[in-house]
């Protein structure tokens, strides 16, 4: 693809992502015109209705953008590292590991920051299990030769995701009745509880940090897509780059799961849409993936708040309804 055109598309995706923020502030069960939304944003300390509405919607909108970007970036990294278009944090069980740990924290009544930390630790633990069970495929000669390594990793990840689902079902069956409803909504993927502005802006900082880490290794990742042996002969420390980027993917997944629950298929759909638009150069594909994922989840959250207003739908339901047909279409192409 023409590189100037691809760069222009990345900027257009970034503009679409930025546009979702004012739209999320204006649209909802109570609509605000642009002037009222701007007044509520700039004069957040007064007691007007617009300020109150913006104060509720802003952290949720920022969190949706951050979570969508983190999940999409994680999916894009995993698909590139494993050279398998069916890989994503949900399918590989990384989301499930983070969800299990966060669910335990919620069940015992832990605070939000403990839940965030538990989800990151759970995602890292799931990643460690994936490394141990599929180490030969990840770092052995099988992966270098390009044989069925990525399929082996995918199968291990699917089994880990199934095990995590069983653990979550067990946790739900043993949970106190008073905590059951929020736990179920959280498992479906829910942004209704993201009202903490500090957590929202920290999430943006996590997203920027993960994006910067990916930008640092994007050239090496391009070389690794052609084969580990070729990348090694051109000076890439393949194992170190792979470990570093998979850890970035797990941290991004764990943080996103802690904030919004088990939202599926954003990490699968967004990288495909981005690569279709800008090509497979990771220097452009990863930023495009980030912006597409952020836009998709922000749009899905906007729909979840407005389709059945004043009731709110779990945003994870909408993302799965979009993601499953795309997943089956991609599987049919394999």
- Domain positions in the chain are 3-333
Diameter of the chain measured on Cα atoms: 65
Q: Is the pLDDT higher at 187 or at 237? A: 237
What per-residue confidence (pLDDT) applies to 204?
A: 93
Q: For the chain, state the CA radius of gyration.
A: 20
Least confident among 43-47, 91-95, 265-269, 287-291: 43-47
Q: Which CATH number fits domain 3-333: 1.10.3470.10, 3.40.50.1820, 1.10.3720.10, 1.20.120.420?
A: 1.10.3470.10
Residue of 270, 306, 307 lying closest to 288 (CA atoms): 270
pLDDT at position 147 is 43
pLDDT at 20: 93
Q: Which long-range contacts link 274-277 to residues 24+ away (Cβ below 8 Å)?
A: 274/13, 274/72, 274/76, 277/6, 277/9, 277/13
Answer yes or no: is pLDDT of 281 > 60. yes
Which has more pLDDT, 333 or 111?
A: 111
Residue 142 predicted with pLDDT over 60 = no
**How far is the C-alpha of 138 from the C-alpha of 238, rounded, in Å?**
11
- The CA-based dihedral angle spanning residues 4, 6, 290, 53, taken in that order and rounded to the nearest 10 degrees: 80
The DSSP-derived string for 27-78 is -SSS---HHHHHHHHH-TTS--HHHHHHHHHHHHHHHHHHHHHHHHHHHHHH
Examine residue 310 and say whether the peptide bond preceding it is cis (omega within 30 degrees of 0): yes
Does residue 126 or residue 193 have the better pLDDT? 126
Whether the pLDDT of residue 306 is over 80: the answer is: yes
pLDDT range class, residue 330, cuts 50, 70, 90: low
CA distance 76 to 286: 7
pLDDT per residue as tens digits for the range 4-25: 888 999 999 999 999 999 898 8
Residue 97 pLDDT > 90, yes or no? no
* Residue 111 reports pLDDT greater than 50: yes
Quote the CA–CA distance of 152 and 132 in Å, as a whole number.
13
Question: Given a cut of 60, is residue 148 above it in pLDDT?
Answer: no
**Residue ranges in 88-196 assigned as alpha helix (H):** 94-107, 112-133, 135-139, 141-145, 149-174, 177-188
Region of 196 please: left (phi>0), alpha (psi -120 to 50) or beta: beta
Instruction: Tell me how far CA of residue 309 lies from CA of 288, 301, 305, in angstroms.
Output: 31, 12, 6
Mean pLDDT of 283-300: 93
What's the chain's average pLDDT?
81
What average pLDDT does range 121-128 have in this prediction? 81
146 has a pLDDT exceeding 50: no
Q: Which residue has the higher pLDDT, 128 or 147?
A: 128
The tokens for 62 are 């920022």
């Amino acid at each position: 693809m023409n590189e100037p055109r691809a760069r222009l598309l990345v900027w257009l995706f970034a503009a679409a992502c930025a546009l979702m923020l004012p739209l999320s502030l204006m649209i909802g069960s109570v609509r605000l015109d642009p002037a009222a939304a701007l007044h509520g944003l700039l004069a957040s300390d007064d007691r007007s209705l617009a300020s109150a509405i913006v104060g509720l919607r802003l952290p949720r909108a920022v969190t949706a953008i951050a979570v969508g970007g983190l999940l999409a970036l994680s999916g894009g990294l995993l698909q590139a590292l494993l050279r398998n278009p069916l890989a994503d944090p949900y399918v590989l069980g990384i989301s499930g590991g983070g969800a299990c740990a966060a669910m335990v924290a919620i069940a015992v009544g832990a605070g939000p920051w403990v839940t965030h930390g538990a989800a990151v630790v759970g995602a890292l633990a799931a990643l460690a299990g994936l490394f141990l069970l599929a180490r030969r495929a990840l770092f052995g000669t099988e992966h270098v030769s390009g044989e069925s390594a990525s399929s082996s990793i995918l199968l291990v990840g699917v089994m880990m995701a199934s095990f995590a689902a069983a653990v979550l079902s067990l946790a739900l069956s043993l949970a106190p009745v008073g905590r059951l409803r929020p736990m179920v909504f959280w498992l479906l993927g829910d942004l209704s509880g993201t009202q903490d502005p500090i957590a929202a802006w920290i999430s943006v900082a996590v997203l920027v940090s993960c994006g910067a880490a990916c930008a640092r290794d994007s050239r090496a990742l391009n070389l690794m897509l052609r084969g580990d042996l070729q990348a090694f002969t051109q000076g890439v420390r393949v194992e170190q780059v792979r470990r570093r980027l998979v850890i970035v993917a797990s941290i991004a997944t764990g943080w996103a799961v802690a904030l919004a629950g088990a939202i599926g298929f954003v990490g699968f759909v967004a990288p495909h849409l981005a690569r279709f638009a800008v090509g497979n150069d990771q220097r452009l594909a990863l930023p495009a993936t980030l912006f597409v994922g952020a836009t998709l989840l922000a749009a899905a959250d906007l729909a979840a708040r407005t389709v059945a207003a004043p009731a709110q739908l779990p945003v994870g339901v909408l993302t799965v309804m979009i993601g499953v047909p795309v997943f089956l279409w991609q599987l049919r192409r394999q």
